[in-house]
Chains A and B, each alone.
Chain A
């Protein structure tokens, strides 16, 4: 079984977001880049599955669509344990464009399980995984919080309203993963970092694809009014304010 994990290179989640060119582009000066948190969990789970040899996972590949500046993030994924990496050489476009690049890479390989995160922490699109599956005309399962292999069959736990389901779909399929898929993201060890340098990282050119959306402008949220403080021994006043001022009780 061959797993491919789609990796989005995103600003660290604590980044103070700024925009430039009259609020039309994200200002990435001084930004630390990380593996998108859900993608990191997907990769972690892929490695766990591979390490249990009874699962017969032969290979874990990681792929990203981005400029050369995204390579340290791919190396990080290799350091965590992925066997090889692919970078589609592109200044990223919209979700549809990115998905088309990934679909092209996946079509040219022999992958059984394609994993994506539920969203990227920058543009919060929740789009790429589903789009890739539709472009490849293969099944997809979303909101995945568990993934295991039982006798060669991939069993998926997905969250539904008020509970969860265990489902299966025939491979190849796209799994869109969220919290719960792995407990903690795996951190690369020194040995992994050393080994990552020698692992194959292939750069492939973009394929032609359409953009269906564009980000026209960014807007910062309105600053909010300061918090009204209430004394700890005056809980009655809090209830009064919630009832009569905020009118939420």
Chain B
């Protein structure tokens, strides 16, 4: 029973997420018995591909010449072909835009039960039972897979990267899929260059309506720069147009799990917490000592965010200078 892990790359490079996925797949393979094959689609150099070995992949299948942009049907066919080739029973992917787009199609194609947003190693290998969040983080559920095969999408930042120090053989793989038959036409691409992605950030600085106006975001951006952090906001802030909608975190926005999350002037409504409560450490600054954010936070200051922010920047700079 081997495991196939689909590793995404960004312009030919793997990221922390890719290593997290391979580490997870390798731990799952350890439980169910078998080896890990990593699948990579797109133009990735040999030495980059073989890096996956260090996290537990024993072989890497490389598909060159994928279509530009994501075509859900083509990607589904490629990954299904790799499942067939390896005879894998478990497919591991990320619970991100790509995973959400393709995993359900693969579940149907492979007749493999899908557990989306898995947060830990399986509770049991046979039957396969995995833990996932439900009710937007208000509870967890143990999902039992009833089919022979399974598709697991891993919630971001929920598994520690583990280097095993192994090495992987790299093989180029022709899935026999008609890439030119892709039905998705990409008309236009707009990328924000040089900006740290919210979903990648280890530290996130977030502001709510308590920041009062879009003019007050200067110190949030400055703090983000000092800490190499991404910026985020609550829903009303993006609804008001103070910040772009990509920054909206919460139940109906982005769901993130950084190491450190700063909430300035955010009340901590249950829908907001649904998107940030998996953060390792939450710091809240709010003028209202009874704000619900303090129930979710690890460290809190009752005070004016506009006053605390500049002091915080000064203190962090001072601490860093030591």
CB neighbours of B136 from chain A (8 A): 13, 121, 124
B143 and A213 contact, CB distance less than 8 A: yes
B70 within 8 A of A: yes
Known: A179-B248, A227-B300, A239-B316. Is A216-B76 also a contact (CB below 8 A)?
Answer: no
How far is the CB of B145 from the nearest CB of chain A, in Å?
A: 6
B185 and A213 contact, CB distance less than 8 A: no
Known: A242-B260, A248-B281. Is A163-B192 also a contact (CB below 8 A)?
Answer: yes
B140 and A96 contact, CB distance less than 8 A: no
Residue in contact with A121 in the complex, picked from B70, B135, B184, CB distance below 8 Å: B135
A14 and B270 contact, CB distance less than 8 A: yes
B191 within 8 A of A: yes
Residue in contact with B245 in the complex, picked from A96, A125, A145, CB distance below 8 Å: A145
A213 and B284 contact, CB distance less than 8 A: no
Residue in contact with A211 in the complex, picked from B146, B248, B303, CB distance below 8 Å: B146
B214 within 8 A of A: no
The interface bits of chain A over 118-152 (1 if a CB of B lies within 8 angstroms of the residue's CB, else 0) are 11011111111111011100011111010000000
User: Which A residues, 25 to 63, have Cβ-Cβ distances below 8 Å to chain B?
Assistant: 37-38
User: Which A residues, 218 to 234, have Cβ-Cβ distances below 8 Å to chain B?
Assistant: 218-221, 224-225, 227-232
How far is the CB of B206 from the nearest CB of chain A, in Å?
A: 15
A235 and B117 contact, CB distance less than 8 A: no
B197 and A99 contact, CB distance less than 8 A: no
User: Which B residues, 78 to 100, have Cβ-Cβ distances below 8 Å to chain A?
Assistant: 95-97, 100
CB neighbours of B245 from chain A (8 A): 145, 179-180
Which residue of chain B is the closest to A213 with respect to CB atoms? B113
Bound complex: CA of A248 vs CA of B129, how far in Å?
32
Bound complex: CA of A216 vs CA of B116, how far in Å?
15
Which stretch of A83-91, A166-174, A186-194, A196-204 is in the interface? A166-174
A212 and B312 contact, CB distance less than 8 A: no
Which residue of chain A is the closest to B295 with respect to CB atoms? A227
B139 and A218 contact, CB distance less than 8 A: yes
A17 and B142 contact, CB distance less than 8 A: no
How far is the CB of A52 from the nearest CB of chain B, in Å?
A: 21
The interface bits of chain B over 182-208 (1 if a CB of A lies within 8 angstroms of the residue's CB, else 0) are 011111111110010101000100000
Residue in contact with B135 in the complex, picked from A17, A180, A239, CB distance below 8 Å: A17
B187 and A231 contact, CB distance less than 8 A: no
Residue in contact with A13 in the complex, picked from B132, B270, B315, CB distance below 8 Å: B270
Residue in contact with B144 in the complex, picked from A133, A134, A216, CB distance below 8 Å: A216
B10 and A167 contact, CB distance less than 8 A: no
B101 and A249 contact, CB distance less than 8 A: no
A164 and B190 contact, CB distance less than 8 A: yes
Residue in contact with B107 in the complex, picked from A19, A96, A228, CB distance below 8 Å: A96
The interface bits of chain B over 282-322 (1 if a CB of A lies within 8 angstroms of the residue's CB, else 0) are 01100000000011111111111001100110011001000
CB neighbours of A96 from chain B (8 A): 107-108, 113-114
B108 and A184 contact, CB distance less than 8 A: no
Bound complex: CA of A248 vs CA of B283, how far in Å?
11
Interface size on A, residues (CB 8 A): 84
B73 within 8 A of A: yes
B108 and A143 contact, CB distance less than 8 A: no
Q: Give the bracket for the number of chain B residues in contact with chain A.
A: 35 or more
CB neighbours of A214 from chain B (8 A): 143-144, 146
A213 and B115 contact, CB distance less than 8 A: yes
B213 within 8 A of A: no
B184 and A169 contact, CB distance less than 8 A: yes
A212 and B97 contact, CB distance less than 8 A: no
B251 and A239 contact, CB distance less than 8 A: no
A22 within 8 A of B: no
CB neighbours of A242 from chain B (8 A): 260, 281, 283, 299
B129 and A141 contact, CB distance less than 8 A: no
B299 and A125 contact, CB distance less than 8 A: no
Known: A13-B251, A213-B115. Is A129-B146 also a contact (CB below 8 A)?
Answer: no
Which residue of chain A is the closest to B8 with respect to CB atoms? A161
B30 within 8 A of A: no
How far is the CB of A173 from the nearest CB of chain B, in Å?
A: 8
The interface bits of chain B over 12-43 (1 if a CB of A lies within 8 angstroms of the residue's CB, else 0) are 00000000000000000000000000000000
Bound complex: CA of A145 vs CA of B190, how far in Å?
13
Bound complex: CA of A140 vs CA of B311, how far in Å?
49
Which residue of chain A is the closest to B113 with respect to CB atoms? A212
Bound complex: CA of A224 vs CA of B308, how far in Å?
25
Known: A227-B300, A238-B299. Is A130-B104 also a contact (CB below 8 A)?
Answer: yes
5 contacts between A and B (CB under 8 A): A118-B100, A127-B116, A134-B107, A166-B188, A213-B147
Known: A235-B311, A243-B319. Is A135-B108 also a contact (CB below 8 A)?
Answer: yes
Known: A180-B245, A230-B299, A242-B299. Is A131-B281 also a contact (CB below 8 A)?
Answer: no
Residue in contact with A126 in the complex, picked from B104, B284, B315, CB distance below 8 Å: B104
A165 and B294 contact, CB distance less than 8 A: no
B188 and A162 contact, CB distance less than 8 A: no
CB neighbours of B281 from chain A (8 A): 242, 246, 248
B187 and A166 contact, CB distance less than 8 A: yes
Residue in contact with A239 in the complex, picked from B116, B252, B300, B319, CB distance below 8 Å: B319
Known pairs A160-B70, A216-B129. 16 more at Cβ < 8 A? A119-B100, A127-B107, A131-B114, A139-B71, A141-B72, A160-B189, A165-B189, A169-B184, A176-B100, A213-B143, A216-B142, A229-B300, A230-B301, A232-B307, A232-B308, A246-B260
